[in-house]
Structure 1
Amino acid sequence: MLERWALRGRLCGEAGESSTFAVMFLRGVDAADAGPSVPWHALLWSRSGAGGREPAVRTWMDGQAVAMLRSAVEADGAMDPRVRAALAEALADGTPVPPDRLLPGPVAVAATGRVGLEYGGVAALREAADGSYRLTVLEENGLGLDLVVAPTRAALPHRGLGDLGGHCRPRCDVRGVIAVPGERPAAVSGSGWYDHTTGADLPRMTGGRPTADAGWSRLDIGLDCGWDICVGDVRVQDLVSRRVTDRLTAAGVVAPDGTVVRARPHLAESSSWTSLATLNTYPTSWEVRLPEVDAQLTVTATVDQDIRSLLFGWGLLCTDAEVRGTLGGRPVRGRAWVEVVPAQKVTDIVEYLGRLQKVTRREVDLLYPDRPSPALTASLLGGCGTSTEGMSDTTVHETMVRPIRHLTDPGGRGWRTFVCCAAMELLGVDSGAYAPLLAVVEVIHSANLAIDDVQDGSTSRRGVPAVHTVYGVPTAINAATAAYFVLDRVIEEVVPDDDTLRLGVYQRWIRALRAAHGGQAVDIAGHTEAMDQAVAAHDPTALLGRIQAAHRFKTGLPARAFAEIGGLIARGDAPRIDALGEYFEAVGTAYQITDDLLDLHGATIPAPQGAHRKHCGEDLRAGKVTTPLARSVSLLPAEEISRLWRSVRGGGADAATVREVATAVTGCGAVQACYEEAKAHVDAAWHRLEPLLAESVTKVLVRALGNYAALRGTEVPAQDGVLWR
């Protein structure tokens, strides 16, 4: 059960300066297996506008809340095991994951009578005999808020949203002082909203696995004409399909004379925003229709950033909003306060990272738009020192843009695009302003794939025909190699005007291209002769070194470069940038090792009915030497590995032969050895990086990405303490 006391408002100072505030007190009680339940407590507060400073946001919790989170994570059988492991690791010491903080003192909540809350010396809320509320919030360096919130209307009880109880006071006078550290408190006055909510908030469980994931939105609207509207929207999503399986929407309307009207609103979202820090997508504009009072309203939120807190999953959106529309056929305006907690349980880290695709596509569309134009031609061919007159915009678009969009439109797994923005977030820089770098990474990777398919003779990629099969080999190669210069088109926009910084970014970018071509060269040459030598000597040492070098140069070093570019832009110091690069290099290398393993599993483990697998023994069928095949050289008897190698050497093996070889390689311990190698690479790099980083939600996600790269596939669903088998 969860109980919440929330206050928010808009204030104006004596000199006319405006500010907003929001404070949320939380108290939860979880059912205990034996004995009395111990409640947990948390606090969220924010202010903006005061003193012309940046918005301030703080989230606090007590030790019992940390313990509750840790227990919930460990018991959550639906959470992706790699994410669960990273979260459990971050919460193991009993302290919150920043920006969540531990309340410095005890919590006291009045058991009966008037509201009386004292949260650890950070914030307090007390109800006076006249029904007003005294709210105080302390910042680290002094007073934050000292306000009296006085309701001017009767309470509006909560009804219509499941088991929710409590009430709201939609129109309150607010007076007091607000201050920022180092400045004198300033007198303010304005309007506010008080809300007290009680109700169950835990999803139903079946065998330790939540059956659904829930999210909610709340719009508290105050119209200038004196009407107040509270709209609540709760959506339940299936954990697998992510489809909405149940929805409850209700509204309470208070007329200027105090009359209360219950309404069933029609609520539609008309725009959204995705946070690069949490990968949550939040609605930011709503069309609200209330037939009961003939109201049609548009609510548009002011979005700065989401509030990151593990209490709400990864984060939530709390923001002021503008309201326009009609009421009874007459134009109306007003303000609103919006809270959004999207359904955000991570049951599959691949799906989670894929949430970046929408932002990535938007940025790619800006660089490689749908339609030709002179401006696009000039951008693609710019820097050549001459006019583009005479160049056909249509031809340039069809031969340089369309082939790249052919691969970027379907989208990939998204972990590479995550690397660059994650590096910035890890160093304390909001990556939202650098979203064009997502397009740079995606375009370069897609160009690599297009050329790789030409060289390998592949006929499909990302579920569509390979680029060269649609546009021809010459056009595919030319468009892909031209795409390698995409960073040059955005560097002036996203990288500060600092010659030293831009030089560093260019150097990492060029090094990544050189490294990837080197890795591809070794990959094209193959490892057949090295495998022959390894089989003859019954010793794969040299062969494994060669394969790992190809993986490192082809995938590891580009990932390193993307991380280092993010670190440079965030102005990180050399030790942290180097450690970031080393970690993501290990992630990329491990990803290639486990990519080899997926091919084996595709040959030995039938895909679920209706599912499509990217890999299905293709490497063995082509006679390609992979890490698990190389590992099996010393794990299988010399005669057996020699026979198996001869059966696939040169390519063209039939399905029965591929299955036989895959089964032997899987059964001899080579797969386990590969997982241990991949995990060792990632863990060693993480242990060097981890002490250099401040704790954060992004740090948890980056650790989970390493777990994913090292431990992929349906064959590793459960944790046994060392590996998922």
Structure 2
Amino acid sequence: MEMELKDIEDVARRVDSLVQEILSGSDEFRKLYDSSMHLFKAGGKRVRPYILVKSAELLGGDKENAIRLATAVELLHTFTLIHDDIMDMSDTRRGVPSVHKVFGVPMAIIAGDLLFGTVFEVAASTKIDPHDIKEITFELATATRRICEGQFLDMTLQGKLEPDDKMYYEMIEKKTAALFETSAAIGGMIAKCRENELRLLRDFGRNLGIAFQITDDILGVLGDPEETGKPSGDDIRFGKFTVIIAHFCKNASEEELQRFARSFNKPEAQEDELIAASELLVKTGSIRAAEDLARSYTERAVSALKKLPENAARTDLEFLAFHMVKRRA
């Protein structure tokens, strides 16, 4: 287990080193590049780059090209985080003030835009077959569109207290799972995988992405701010609609719904009110149901992996999948 975690850290170091090189910039634009680097310096799990690199290794792809394209994926992910924090009015990310809190909203917007443009610069300059570059660039662009659609749905669902979870799954498949799926798919493309292998990698990435987001939603209710880097209870305070909320609406009594509504989507909610609301989600079994769902989607992800060649890279991805649903941050 320690060796596998060390391997994740090795991929993260290589990606971060390349990001630092790419975003060095000139003194004339120092503030712009400093703002674009802010979240990278704060750390992060680098899960998506790891998925890409290991998916490439699984099928015999070149690791150096995988590292470069994994960097493009992390640039894309960080662009979305910067803009998400502006839209969500989030003050912190990864335990530090959000980019817009440090540098202001206009600078945060352009920092995100810079990262988005750099994604395609990095991808286009990767030394692989031009046809593969075209396919990979299209994959990245499509993922971006899906992420934007997912963010739109997230905004639309904010504040809703209803039992229908159909829109939730559509939202997380786009907003979160899309980039997990794209990471796995690009890894396969680097290795020039067969169509059935690409489909299995997509299945793995998509299901792991869904499990990842459900786990994130659980941490948004019960996570320790010292570990998650985000204030406790914010998902309740700002009315984040999740599968936890949908389950609660199906199973809570009318009196419990009324009590919960006093804190849900109420930015002025006090800490004791948020704790009471969290306890209601536990009492109704909504947290437990979400944990079961996260495990189920993880098992689906691993099931897809097991149809691919058995080797060290596959083992690493299986370990990652099970680690993701047990994480505390």
Structure scoring higher RCO (CA < 8 A, sep ≥ 6) equals: 2
Q: CA deviation at 1:671?
A: 1.4
1:357 aligns to 2:5 (yes or no):
no
Match of 1:560 in 2: 181
Match of 2:215 in 1: 594
Matches within 5 A, 1:145-544: 344-345=2-3, 353-369=8-24, 371-372=25-26, 394-399=27-32, 401-498=33-130, 500-529=131-160, 531=161, 534=162, 540=163, 542=164, 544=165
8 Å contact kept, 2:143–2:178: yes
Distance 1:644 1:442 in 2: 37
Distance 2:56 2:7 in 1: 19
Distance 1:519 1:597 in 2: 19
Corresponding letter in the other structure for 1:510: A
8 Å contact kept, 1:590–1:710: yes
Distance 1:662 1:687 in 2: 33
Q: CA deviation at 1:560?
A: 0.9
SS in 2 for 1:713: coil
Moved over 4 A (4+): none
Distance 1:568 1:648 in 2: 43
Corresponding letter in the other structure for 2:196: P
Corresponding letter in the other structure for 2:31: E
Match of 1:708 in 2: 323
1:682 aligns to 2:327 (yes or no):
no
1:293-318 alpha-carbon deviations (Å, 9 max, x no partner):
xxxxxxxxxxxxxxxxxxxxxxxxxx
Distance 2:29 2:313 in 1: 40
Q: CA deviation at 1:444?
A: 1.5
Corresponding letter in the other structure for 2:153: V
8 Å contact kept, 2:154–2:241: no
> Alpha carbons of 1:420 and 1:495: their partners in 2 closer, same or farther (altered >3 Å)?
farther
8 Å contact kept, 2:96–2:229: no
Corresponding letter in the other structure for 2:151: Q
Corresponding letter in the other structure for 1:699: R
Corresponding letter in the other structure for 1:668: T
8 Å contact kept, 1:527–1:547: no
Distance 1:657 1:467 in 2: 29
1:658 corresponds, among 266, 274, 280, to 274
Match of 2:310 in 1: 695
Q: CA deviation at 1:427?
A: 0.6
Q: CA deviation at 1:665?
A: 0.7
More helix by share: 2
More strand by share: 1
Greater shift, 642-651 or 671-680, is seen at 642-651
8 Å contact kept, 1:587–1:710: no
Q: CA deviation at 1:650?
A: 3.4
1:362-395 alpha-carbon deviations (Å, 9 max, x no partner):
11122111x51xxxxxxxxxxxxxxxxxxxxx44
Q: CA deviation at 1:423?
A: 1.1
**Unmatched tracts of structure 2, length 5 or more:** none
Corresponding letter in the other structure for 1:496: I
1:565-624 alpha-carbon deviations (Å, 9 max, x no partner):
11111100111112101211111111111111112223xxx78xxx54424111112232
8 Å contact kept, 2:54–2:317: yes
Larger Rg: 1
8 Å contact kept, 1:518–1:553: yes
Corresponding letter in the other structure for 2:311: S
1:111-157 alpha-carbon deviations (Å, 9 max, x no partner):
xxxxxxxxxxxxxxxxxxxxxxxxxxxxxxxxxxxxxxxxxxxxxxx
SS in 2 for 1:629: helix
Q: CA deviation at 1:352?
A: 6.0
> Alpha carbons of 1:513 and 1:699: their partners in 2 closer, same or farther (altered >3 Å)?
same
8 Å contact kept, 2:227–2:328: no
8 Å contact kept, 2:126–2:133: no
SS in 2 for 1:592: helix
Distance 2:58 2:187 in 1: 10
1:667 aligns to 2:283 (yes or no):
yes
TM-score norm. by structure 2 comes to 0.91
Q: How many residues are aligned here?
A: 328
Match of 2:169 in 1: 548
8 Å contact kept, 1:619–1:626: no
**Unmatched tracts of structure 1, length 5 or more:** 1-78, 80-343, 373-393, 535-539, 715-725
> Alpha carbons of 1:676 and 1:471: their partners in 2 closer, same or farther (altered >3 Å)?
same
